[in-house]
Homo-oligomer: A and B are copies of this chain.
């Protein structure tokens, strides 16, 4: 059994992770850390899990005295990079769900997060946890930076086209629509019900949202060229899930059939990517699953290609992908606990 610790167990991602791991057949949850609620049972905070999650929440200090194989960090960025080195040095494998270990360099981190990275040497060893791109590296990794929710949807939409060099690298648009849980659980005026319900709200549009950096980093490596991406995040009144509509300009004269064939070939061996030949992804289709659904088509009368993905932001966009990464790191079947 893989012994597990979760730090930040009472946020949305932490709870989603708990639910997945509680029925994961090869893992055992050793500790659940909550800074503010230590001493309570998880089910006191979330009555949902009464009978399943009656484990006591512990403080970080208490958790450090316990023996685990893998730690999942569900804390805000900056908090994560303060915690990771100690676990890493003790030989514990770390899956960090914050943004702290997603960027390749401290320079890029500073550019997008306006902060100095405090563990720059670990950035070099950390692997970007998107199995569809880095499966072999993840298998050997001891520290994985679990991708952001928006980047997961955006990169999987565009990767096959960039790998083949079928599109221009400098003319991509990512128009993303997200549910509200992406914004986290802290009270703020924005995710208030009345402000959010019956509303569609764009925010941080252009190349402003921090996830832009992560998207551009990964697409640029695939393209072998710098890829500035127009990224438009928008909040819609649903709890979870993201629909990503990506637009690019073809350099090759290919039609929808060839595009679909490309995507089917590229993702054929991927257990969690479903290429749709008929119909289009809807966020409902991926509800509570680790799937990324994708469709691709040529827009007739133009040189544009349109790729649409749907993911559940708390599963493939966070906790599910984190478990997928753990499975790979630990050498067990990648899909364990995720069907």
Contacts and interface: CB of A to CB of B under 8 A. Distances in A.
B51 A12 contact: no
Interface stretch (A64-72, A126-134, A138-146, A190-198): A190-198
Interface residues of A, number: 75
A304 B310 CA distance: 25
A47 B230 contact: no
Contacts of A239: 193-194, 197-198
A279 interface: yes
A305 to B, nearest CB: 10
Contact of A247 (B180, B247, B286): B247
A47 B310 CA distance: 12
A274 B195 contact: no
A187 B188 contact: yes
A308 B203 CA distance: 11
A47 B237 contact: no
A201 B310 CA distance: 10
B228 A301 contact: yes
A218 interface: no
B48 A284 contact: yes
A265 interface: no
Interface stretch (A87-95, A292-300, A326-334): A292-300
Nearest to A274: B50
A209 B180 CA distance: 29
Interface in A149-191: 170-171, 173, 175, 177, 180-181, 185, 187-189, 191
Given A189-B187, A207-B301, A236-B200, A194 B177 contact: no
A306 interface: yes
A280 interface: yes
Nearest to A298: B206
A308 B207 contact: no
Contacts of A247: 173, 175, 230, 247
Given A247-B173, A285-B47, A297 B241 contact: no
A243 interface: yes
A15 B36 CA distance: 36
A202 interface: yes
A153 B197 CA distance: 21
A238 B194 CA distance: 8
A197 B200 contact: no
B300 A206 contact: yes
Interface string A49-79: 0111000000000000000000000000000
A140 to B, nearest CB: 28
B236 A304 contact: no
Contacts of A304: 173, 230
B192 A47 contact: no
A197 B146 CA distance: 27
Interface of A: 12, 23, 46-48, 50-52, 170-171, 173, 175, 177, 180-181, 185, 187-189, 191-203, 205-207, 228, 230, 232, 234, 236-241, 243, 245, 247, 249, 274, 276, 279-289, 291, 293, 297-302, 304, 306, 308, 310, 339
